[in-house]
């Protein structure tokens, strides 16, 4: 399901939307306790939260792996974008960076998109990764984003009747500063 327009409710009546008062009271309690817990956890440092996370996993018989720890995942995301930037600055293209990083090209494009948005890669530099197939049509594609007044890929994809892939449109969108 990609759009709400595809959802249909068939055969409902007013009773379908009634909620037992006991459930509403319990929901209110859960919401209050959740907000209270959020305030308590906000006082802990990242290191303390990580230690609590690790202790919980171990106390339940789990094992710690790099991919399971919140702190390591957060650090990896920052470091991984920086590593993509380093390879970009060395002149790597999407395929080369993906191969070196052992990632999908789609992931690398996501990093580049984030780096462009952060101002670490200039929009003018993107020309080297725009596929030759769409380069002559780049102005037409960017004009379609503007004409449709959107930064979503689907309307532009439909506008061109599928002539360009979502990845091609994503690359073109980066050149006009939309994400």
User: Domain containing 71 — which CATH number?
Assistant: 1.10.10
Last-in-domain residue among 129, 147, 162: 129
Which pair of tokens denotes residue 147? 């004409």
Q: Nearest to residue 106, comparing CAs of 168, 162, 151?
A: 168
Q: Which domain holds residue 139?
A: 130-179
The tokens for 43 are 């006082």
* 149 domain residue, yes or no: yes
For the ranges 94-108, 129-143, 146-160, 165-179, the lowest mean pLDDT is seen at: 165-179
Do 143 and 111 fall within a single domain?
no
- For residues 125 and 140, membership in a common domain is answered with no
Mean pLDDT rounded to a whole number for the chain: 83
Render pLDDT for 101-118 as a digit per residue (tens, 0 to 9).
Answer: 888 888 888 888 888 888
Final residue of a structural domain among 105, 129, 153? 129
* 144 neighbors 160 (Cβ within 8 angstroms): yes
Query: Of residues 16 and 34, which shows the higher confidence score?
Result: 34
Tell me which of 89, 114, 129 is where a domain ends: 129
Structure tokens at 104: 């999908």
Residues 111 and 75 in one domain: yes
Give the residue-averaged pLDDT of 118-128: 87
In the structure encoding, which two tokens stand for residue 22, read together? 């006991």
Q: Is the pLDDT of residue 69 over 80?
A: no
Q: Which two tokens stand for residue 105?
A: 């090209």
DSSP tag of 44 = S
In a domain, 48, yes or no: no
Q: Confirm if 50 and 70 have CB atoms less than 8 A apart.
A: yes
Domain membership flag for residue 92: yes
């Amino acid at each position: 399901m990609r759009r709400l327009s595809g959802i249909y409710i068939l055969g409902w009546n007013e009773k379908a939307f009634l909620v037992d008062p006991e459930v509403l009271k319990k929901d209110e309690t859960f919401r209050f306790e959740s907000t209270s817990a959020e305030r308590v956890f906000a006082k802990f440092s990242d290191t303390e939260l990580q230690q609590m996370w690790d202790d919980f996993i171990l106390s339940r018989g789990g094992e710690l792996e790099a991919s399971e720890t919140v702190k390591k995942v957060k650090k990896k995301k920052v470091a991984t974008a920086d590593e993509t930037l380093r390879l970009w600055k060395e002149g790597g293209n999407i395929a080369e960076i993906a191969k070196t990083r052992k990632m999908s090209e789609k992931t690398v494009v996501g990093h580049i998109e984030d780096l462009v948005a952060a101002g670490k890669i200039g929009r003018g530099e993107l020309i080297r990764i725009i596929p030759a197939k769409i380069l002559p049509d780049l102005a037409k594609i960017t004009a379609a984003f503007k004409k449709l007044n959107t930064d979503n890929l689907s309307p532009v994809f439909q506008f061109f009747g599928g002539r360009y892939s979502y990845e091609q449109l994503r690359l073109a969108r980066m050149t006009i500063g939309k994400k």
